[in-house]
Amino acid sequence: MIESMTRVSLAAALALSLGGGLLVAGGIKVRAQKDKTFDFTAARTWAWHPSGAGEVVMAVTADDNPAAMKARFEPVIKSAVEQELVARNLSMAAAGAAPQLNVHYYVLVSTGMSAQYMGQFAPSVPEWGLPPFSGATQAATVIHQGSLLIDVTTPKGDIVWRGVAEGEVHMGRTPAQRDAKLRDAIARMLKKFP
């Protein structure tokens, strides 16, 4: 069984800047892992997790509004996940019926930075041929990053499958471009679902 990921480990994942929150960049990395002991062929019904379909965690600015981000992207995420699960012969559990699987998503958005300074790639003992110089910063890049995690759990809460899509967030993209990249990332991720 895959170990349960708590809010603490979600915060750690955010701190490690796991790429594609809004998932609008080319080069989105997608990966998945599953519980090898779980019989996926026996599961035919699913539902969104009883606590809600998902959560958004942001660490970009002091004015972050995760609720607005969730309101904007949750309909896109939900419809894309529903479409992909139906394509994998899983149906939404009827109202009042117990699903065999629950689905929950997490959107994590953060800011990272990359910097280079003069002499960064010089050998460790440059005295033999390079004049002395100060290591001033020559290039700095601020990158908005994020991830979309989709967890599939049993009704008891055991995670049996996790998909992760990660990449750079491009702030200048249109809403239609963002939605298309998000749908593409979800489709690529759920193709890895057994």
CB of 25 within 8 A of CB of 181?
yes
Domains of the chain, first to last: 7-117+138-190 (3.30.160)
| Total residues found in the chain within this entry | 194
Look up the pTM and report it: 0.70
Q: The tokens 């998945």 sit on which residue?
A: 32
Phi-psi region of 91 (alpha: psi -120 to 50; beta: other; left: phi over 0): beta
- CA-nearest of 190, 141, 189, 147 to 168 is 147
Q: Alpha helix locations (H) across the chain? A: 7-15, 66-87, 175-190
Digits of tens for pLDDT over the chain (194 positions)? 444 443 333 433 333 333 333 333 357 899 999 999 999 999 999 999 999 999 988 876 677 788 888 898 899 999 999 999 999 999 999 888 899 999 999 998 876 666 666 666 665 655 555 556 566 656 666 556 778 999 999 999 999 999 999 887 776 778 888 888 889 999 999 999 99
Cα 96 to Cα 42, 47, 85, distances in angstroms: 20, 11, 20
